Structure 1
Amino acid sequence: MTAPAWQADPYAEALRTGRGPLYLRRADGWLLPLEVERWCGAPDAADLTVLRRCRGTVLDIGCGPGRLVAALAELGRPTLGIDVSPEAVERTVRLGGSALRRSVFDPLPREGSWGTALLIDGNIGIGGDPRALLERVASLLAPDGVLLAETAAQDVDERAQVHVCDGGRAQGAAFPWARVGAPALLRHAREAGWATPPEHRVDRWAVGGRAFVALRRASRTGVPVPGPPRRREPQD
């Protein structure tokens, strides 16, 4: 019998041990490596650029083993992680963070009042429909809230049915996933009603081969809500 997505033995085992190999596998055999060791380690230089941009209360969507939730808790930032994996939630709590076993599409605490939402480590792919995910995140944020999202480094916009696997026979059930680069994310954001000013004014940055975008909800007048001053980050 196939284990449920993100609750498969390979994923739970990887989080317990803190190491892979672990992949998302498409039906055609294509494999996307999952960076379990990085997820289970301390925040790296790229993560720190995300943490510095957080403001208000923070919702980490798909928090995984909880490194960002725990780091924000240490900084005194009120933060909640959500994840569908019981092992991920348990590990986050063991690190000193707060976490619930929930999907982003489930009812959640403080809906409409979060200051910051995080979609890091490829989590813009949750549900396989970036526009639907962005619409849901907008409903979770306060009117002046900000979404910090990690994108694919390439200009890609694709959807697929995938399995979590360890490179061998063990794998979970198929589920929809998406990969989007920054240009595609901005297109989906415009369609979902986010404030997306001209691309050269969007807060985009890249560190350590990882790429990020900050999105802000539009005001009722359609004018972007002002955000914090932009920082210049080291580029690759």
Structure 2
Amino acid sequence: MTARLTEPAGRSWRAEPYAEALRAGRGPLYLRRGDGRLLPLEVERWCADADEADDTVLARCSGSVLDVGCGPGRLVAALTRLGRPALGVDVTPEAVSRTLRAGGSALCRSVFDPLPSEGRWDTVLLIDGNIGIGGDPGRLLRRTAALAAPEGSLLVEVAPAEVDERVEVHVEDGGGGHGSPFWWARLGTRALCAEAEAAGWTPSVSWQAAGRHFVHLRR
């Protein structure tokens, strides 16, 4: 069943306190679930340079790269420094601005908006939990399949636990500031692979680095 958004998720990510955390380059920042549980967001890591785990992702990127939900753009900037064609897409203007300041290229759009070079991207990225975008992984995986080249790849960061959930959340800063509710998803490796195969992707390899978990999918 497709999750229905309480409010367009893009509007929630554009609003404070997420944009303010990106401007400051630090948290604390959380996704608060309806059951009260807090999911920490790693703003400091996102705003830093690519780290050891990110390097394992960058090493698997081939050809042109589209980073969906690029945030402040550390991966796009790293690819650009390597001389690789890369574009970030994010709904938050501050994220796009930080990506541009870091030397990368980015557009302020949703992944579901029309995008450049649809059907021709060699590698698509869904890192930092971005398989959760929209709360409907099947729809997101079908969309990335339409964006990728016929022999393209999708690199996905998954939850370290074997979870498969769609939850209503809002962004919260721990000091009373919070955004509007929207739907988000969390998938572990098994759940991702099941959803991916139904969307036209074939699991290739999974790996771990610095406590983070990733899956490489192919068209």
TM-score, length-scaled by structure 1: 0.87
| Residue aligning to 1:128 | 135
For residues 33-182 of structure 1, what are the structure 2 equivalents within 5 Å?
A: 33-182=40-189
Within 2, Cα distance between the matches of 1:193 and 1:4?
Answer: 29
Shift of 1:8: 2.0
Within 2, Cα distance between the matches of 1:25 and 1:100?
Answer: 27
Shift of 1:195: 2.1
What secondary structure does 2:13 align onto?
coil
Within 1, Cα distance between the matches of 2:51 and 2:104?
Answer: 18
| Residue aligning to 1:207 | 209
Shift of 1:167: 1.5
2:218 is equivalent to residue 216 of structure 1: yes
What secondary structure does 2:124 align onto?
strand
* Letter of the structure 2 residue corresponding to residue 94 of structure 1: R
What secondary structure does 1:64 align onto?
coil
Within 1, Cα distance between the matches of 2:127 and 2:77?
Answer: 15
Shift of 1:193: 1.9
**Is the CA contact 1:4–1:172 (under 8 Å) kept in the aligned structure 2?**
no
| Residue aligning to 1:32 | 39
Which ranges in structure 2 are unaligned for 5 or more consecutive residues? 1-6
Within 2, Cα distance between the matches of 1:193 and 1:90?
Answer: 33
1:125-145 CA-partner distances (Å, limit 9, x unpaired): 001011110000000000110
* Letter of the structure 2 residue corresponding to residue 205 of structure 1: W
* Letter of the structure 2 residue corresponding to residue 121 of structure 1: D
| Residue aligning to 1:10 | 17
1:169-197 CA-partner distances (Å, limit 9, x unpaired): 2111111100000000000011112224x
Shift of 1:11: 0.8
1:84-129 CA-partner distances (Å, limit 9, x unpaired): 0000000000001000000000000000000000000000000101
For residues 181-192 of structure 1, what are the structure 2 equivalents within 5 Å?
A: 181-192=188-199
2:28 is equivalent to residue 21 of structure 1: yes
1:15-68 CA-partner distances (Å, limit 9, x unpaired): 111110000111221110000010001111100000011011000000000000
Shift of 1:10: 1.2
| Residue aligning to 1:228 | none
Within 1, Cα distance between the matches of 2:190 and 2:101?
Answer: 37
Within 2, Cα distance between the matches of 1:74 and 1:101?
Answer: 21
**Is the CA contact 1:8–1:164 (under 8 Å) kept in the aligned structure 2?**
no
Within 2, Cα distance between the matches of 1:176 and 1:141?
Answer: 25
Structure showing greater Rg: 1
Within 2, Cα distance between the matches of 1:193 and 1:75?
Answer: 30
| Residue aligning to 1:225 | none
TM-score, length-scaled by structure 2: 0.94
